[in-house]
A and B are shown apart, each in its own frame.
Chain A
């Protein structure tokens, strides 16, 4: 069995597990997850219900290349982007498109590095990781994947900290953004808004 297939099978297993959890946990699982957002990123990068450990590490590294901690503005860590992505992957109302793009991206990234370098992406040196991302964004799947990640990064800058992103309004402060008022209250956040109003 080639690596690709192993990863795919693993992925499918993960996805099945994910769907099952959604059905069992439903919205409750989601709320719990939002509260759990205060946990450290380090812990989450080791294991979670959505991605494998390798996927987590690769994802975090790609995010940090797309939006580096370079002293200008907040970092992925400050914005809690990683957590936002995990939370979004569990959106019970999503059509699954963003999840399929991310899974495809992580899958293809890992398999291409494994076959060319016999290592995982996250095990490469920083320079090599940057080179690989540069190559990746020139491919259709890579552009799709990184574009999707950028959208998640942007959400973690722009949306209300009530969603456990933009911690301490770090994104808004960076961009001197004045939010609209009233800001959302915990009861009216997505996705509970949908359930509360039977949309």
Chain B
């Protein structure tokens, strides 16, 4: 049993910056990752493997979640395991975590996201809280992510552009489709500017990473050029090259053991089925929000009878997802010239446009100013299975026979679908939280995480408002069959909260440096710390905050 300076649980976006910074600073780092050590050469664009068989996520027969959701028809909360429903809450379990599979639409939070309560006031039924740090504290770290992890983009003026310490992005924007110009014009016609969306994808080749080759299959697939800014490629590989980082894959941590002083002394883990443990001076948990809460709750000891950080029953509370929905329209061949539609149908090129004009909504539809959100435009994913599956059902049930073949052919050959994804705050409530299941156990006999997925009705109203703005844009560019599905069903890949940071230990789990209030050598460095999520996907913020926490840990280790 070797003693390390620091032991990190998980190896995704929340872990990577700490692994990188500490290893580079000469500290002995040990990473315990429950998934396998897949390498770049292991990834291909195999839809069967990646999406139909979901091999990059933990097997639901062995490890699963218990989901508690409200049944509107039965008017009661109901429990179901993901093992039974097949709807996984795992997002990517391997070295680098789900950052290997992300689509990498990167957005910073905006200054008001750090002070939602004081800016927009209380919302009945929601546990909104201000952050204990402000945008300026995180800004240098956002800039660091651009440089070190790799973010491509361009700074173009728009009404909600967040302040920047650097003039432009280190990597120029990725190539875009003709549709991006149409979207720009459509927004200007409506009186505002489209945002050019940054990406956690590099557009220029560096010494150890090739530029994006527009492979056409990005989200849900690993990257074969190392262009995607995964924690594995951008941070863990360089950390390993220092010789200071020991990576233990297939190591599932099930308990943090505390000593008589209340500090974590050991991380206990299963290496496949063997029980092992590791000692270190400092521990970091970054297992993605749900599992991080679960691990803290499972880590009971003399001084932490209800789990570490849980002296005021805050661990697992206020889990948030990303609220919103998805809309779409079809660009039919018949509505455009041959040359134009050929350009629109060019595979690979990005859309990279978003509406953030209503990031703050000041509209008579609401009672005063409210927080709005982001609408990202994207083409329908290129992989064919979901497109085929969509043809299965018609108004009268299953479609089959020659009619089905005609529908399939029309869908694939006569149009291209442009979609939009709405991101607005998933308000934290008492009905959205993680606890330990009382009945369900994983293959090792440990309680699985029980996730209650209640939402606040305000989320849906904001999403609908944003959908109307996006639908107008689609009309303007000539799309047909425009519709939006606003949903209260969470997207498990965008999850945060559960171990909020804050000043008051009675209302938070972590202090403002993401150290657990009641444990002096334990940090939580994934999105668990976020009291509110902003109205964007989280990963850029997770990376930035982890770099900030790395600085704190370096200071603690050098004292």
Report which A residues bind B (CB closer than 8 A): 65-68, 70, 72-73, 93, 95, 97, 133, 137-138, 143, 146-147, 150-151, 154-155, 157-160, 163, 172, 174-185, 188-191, 193-194, 197-199
Contacts and interface: CB of A to CB of B under 8 A. Distances in A.
Chain A contact surface mostly:
loop
Residue among B48, B250, B409 with max Cβ neighbours from chain A (10 Å): B48
B36 A199 contact: yes
A151 B382 contact: no
B402 A177 contact: no
B42 interface: yes
A193 B400 CA distance: 33
A178 B346 CA distance: 10
B159 interface: no
Nearest to B45: A180
A70 to B, nearest CB: 5
Given A143-B397, A183-B44, A188-B44, A198 B36 contact: yes
8 contacts: A66-B404, A133-B400, A151-B389, A160-B48, A176-B412, A182-B45, A189-B46, A191-B53
Contact of B384 (A95, A177, A188, A190): A177
Given A175-B412, A197-B38, A146 B48 contact: no
B48 A182 contact: no
B3 interface: no
Given A137-B397, A158-B47, A198-B36, A180 B388 contact: no
Given A73-B409, A182-B224, A159 B47 contact: yes
B44 A146 contact: no
A68 B38 contact: no
Contact of A199 (B52, B59, B405): B59
Given A150-B392, A190-B53, A183 B46 contact: yes
Contact of A67 (B38, B383, B405, B409): B405
A194 B50 CA distance: 11
A35 B146 CA distance: 47
Contacts of A137: 397-398, 400
Contacts of B38: 197
Interface stretch (B214-222, B251-259, B285-293, B436-444): B214-222
A180 B216 contact: yes
A31 B520 CA distance: 53
B382 A67 contact: no
A150 to B, nearest CB: 5
A25 B557 CA distance: 54
Interface string B401-428: 1101110110011000000000000000
B182 to A, nearest CB: 22
Most chain B beta-carbon neighbours within 10 Å: one of A65, A70, A184: A184
B36 A70 contact: no
A178 B216 contact: yes
Contacts of A70: 402, 405
Given A150-B392, A157-B388, A183-B46, A178 B347 contact: yes
B140 to A, nearest CB: 36
- Closest 8 pairs between A and B when the two form their complex, measured CB to CB: A180-B45, A180-B217, A184-B46, A175-B412, A154-B388, A158-B384, A184-B44, A159-B48
A171 B392 CA distance: 17
B409 A143 contact: no
Interface string B113-142: 000000000000000000000000000000
B385 A143 contact: no
A112 to B, nearest CB: 18
B49 interface: yes
B55 interface: yes
Contact of A175 (B221, B400, B404, B413): B413
B489 interface: no
A189 B49 CA distance: 7
A39 B406 CA distance: 30
A199 B53 CA distance: 12
Contacts of A95: 60-61
A184 B406 CA distance: 29
A72 B412 CA distance: 14
A181 B383 CA distance: 12
A73 B388 contact: no
B400 A72 contact: no
Contact of A72 (B215, B385, B405): B405
Given A66-B404, A172-B384, A190-B48, 4 more contacts: A67-B404, A159-B385, A179-B45, A190-B49
